[in-house]
Amino acid sequence: MSKYNLRIPLWLRKVGLFLAVLGPGLITASADNDAPGIATYSMAGSTYGYQFLFLILIITFGEVIVQEMAARMGAYTGKGTADLIRERFGVKITTFAMICLLVANLGTTIAQFAGVAAAGELFGISKYITVPIAAIAMTYLVLRGSYKIVEKILLVLCMSAFAYVVVAFMIKPDWIEVTKAFVVPQFTEINSGFILSVLAVIGTTITPWGIFYMQASVADKGIEIEKYGLTRTEVVFGATWGNIISAFIIITTAGTLYVQGIRVESAGEAALALAPIGSAATFLFAVGLLGASLLAVSVLPLSTTYAICEAFGFERGLNRSPKDAPIFYSLFVIIVLISVSIVLLPKMPLFSIMLLSQSVNAILLPVLLVLVIKLANDLIIMNSYGNKRLNNIFAITLTVMISLVTVVLLITSFV
């Protein structure tokens, strides 16, 4: 026994344990603040000022509930969402759910490559160079299984979004007005453009792919339900932290661009929100946009192929050869190729693609939320670890709210 009996304080040991499980929640939250996320929040703040802060507060509670449900199911069952959907609801509903997931994830993957293109253009590099290089590099790293180190680098690059927090305090907004916007709805106009923006903000914060990725990550890590407490803390922390950054993006763009009447429609205009930092503003914005895009590009196609192959019983996994898992590898390559091809079309409005993709996410989200809520309440699947009353109230309210907003959008569009 050592001559020095070093006793580690209890709080320090708890912090160490928390850092040890850090992963799924933080990665999901960081990928939520991806290129389409930054684009959507920048558009919302520059067009509507602080109005969307109230929505961010509501969505934060919703995202915490949804992500925690997915993580808990992964810890208790050791299975992914798609696997449980097939077992519980059968082939027809599983097929419909997977089509919704594929459409939503394909749109978001396209938006990520649009983010790569926008970031490259800020550095003066054509999208015909940056997008193919990014697609080839990330595909190689993911399929070779040598992605873990790159993932940590990309997470560090995503931290550049903290610049919005710095700028928010530099511009000294009216914090009383900001606080009021969080707790009191201040919607001044309700039209199809506003409703589309509402859906985009919801769809970029609570994503269909995020649900599947969260549950699969927890299941793959082999986290036991008896030791689930720290994982729950990490999931709640990740979702909350991601939305704090989202709120600061809105506060910053509202305080710098909205007051000048500048409505964000391009990466260059969005970068103006960080102008108070100085000459490094464009560089910081481009680096953050690129890092977030590449992080999501590496996660999205892979999580999509895993979910679909899991749902229909196809061979899957990077530990299998293309010959043993042809559907898995083919679907991955097809998603990447379609996404790259669309972004490389001439005169594609990159920021508009990002906004539209997130609106599609929100429109398709209720289908998956209904299935996830039913799974989380199934006593056969979850036993005593099913949803509590409060979980259900928040989750069902969120699902109904998104559905109503979608109906209103359709009505206003026809009118």
Chain segment 192-217, per-residue pLDDT in tens: 888 888 999 998 888 888 888 888 87
Residues 30-56 have a mean pLDDT of 86
What percent of the chain has a predicted confidence (pLDDT) above 90? 37
Domain 18-414 belongs to what topology?
Amino acid/polyamine transporter I (1.20.1740)
SS (H, E, C) the chain: CCCCCCCCCHHHHHHHHHHHHCCHHHHHHHHHCCHHHHHHHHHHHHHHCCCCHHHHHHHHHHHHHHHHHHHHHHHHHCCCHHHHHHHHHHHHHHHHHHHHHHHHHHHHHHHHHHHHHHHHHHCCCCHHHHHHHHHHHHHHHHHCCCCHHHHHHHHHHHHHHHHHHHHHHHCCCCHHHHHHHHHCCCCCCCCHHHHHHHHHHHHHHCCHHHHHHHHHHHHHCCCCHHHCHHHHHHHHHHHHHHHHHHHHHHHHHHHHCHHHCCCCCCHHHHHHHHHHHCCCHHHHHHHHHHHHHHHHHHHHHHHHHHHHHHHHCCCCCCCCCCCCCHHHHHHHHHHHHHHHHHHCCCCCCHHHHHHHHHHHHHHHHHHHHHHHHHHHCCHHHHHHHCCCHHHHHHHHHHHHHHHHHHHHHHHHHHC
Q: To which residue do tokens 């600061």 refer? A: 248
Task: Report pLDDT for 247.
Answer: 93
What is the residue-averaged pLDDT of the chain?
84
What percent of the chain has a predicted confidence (pLDDT) above 70? 88
Task: Report pLDDT for 4.
Answer: 40
pLDDT band at 26 (very low <50, low <70, confident <90, very high): low
Task: Report pLDDT for 153.
Answer: 67
Residue 226: pLDDT above 50? yes
Q: To which residue do tokens 């919302």 refer? A: 44
Nearest alpha carbon to residue 299 among 214, 366, 228:
214
286 Cβ contact list (under 8 Å, min separation 6): 119, 122, 123, 267, 271
Residues 370-398 have a mean pLDDT of 92
Chain segment 53-112, per-residue pLDDT in tens: 999 999 999 889 999 999 999 999 988 899 999 999 998 999 999 999 999 999 999 999
Task: Report pLDDT for 106.
Answer: 93
pLDDT band at 334 (very low <50, low <70, confident <90, very high): very high
Chain segment 251-293, per-residue pLDDT in tens: 999 999 998 988 888 888 888 888 888 877 888 888 888 888 8
Residue 5: pLDDT above 60? no
Residues 117-137 have a mean pLDDT of 92
Task: Report pLDDT for 264.
Answer: 87
Task: Report pLDDT for 72.
Answer: 93
Residue 54 and residue 185 in contact, taking contact as beta carbons nearer than 8 Å: yes
pLDDT band at 232 (very low <50, low <70, confident <90, very high): confident
Task: Report pLDDT for 6.
Answer: 42
Of these ranges, 10-14, 95-99, 119-123, the one predicted with the greatest mean pLDDT is: 95-99
- 75 against 5, higher pLDDT: 75
Residue 74 and residue 82 in contact, taking contact as beta carbons nearer than 8 Å: no
- 149 against 331, higher pLDDT: 331
From residue 188, alpha-carbon distances to 44, 50, 185, 362 in Å are 13, 11, 9, 22
- 146 against 34, higher pLDDT: 34
- 61 against 230, higher pLDDT: 61
Residue 335 tokens, joined:
């998603």
- 231 against 338, higher pLDDT: 338
pTM, entire model: 0.86
pLDDT band at 155 (very low <50, low <70, confident <90, very high): low
User: For residues 44 and 38, what is the distance between their CA atoms, to the nearest angstrom?
Assistant: 10
Buried b (16+ CB within 10 A) or exposed e, 246-284: bbbbbbbbbbbbbeeebebbbbebbbbbbebbeeebbeb
Residue 299: pLDDT above 90? no
Residues 3-22 have a mean pLDDT of 47
pLDDT band at 353 (very low <50, low <70, confident <90, very high): confident
Instruction: Spell out the domain ranges in the chain.
Output: 18-414
Kindly report the number of other CB atoms within 10 A of residue 124's CB atom: 6
User: For residues 297 and 111, what is the distance between their CA atoms, to the nearest angstrom?
Assistant: 9
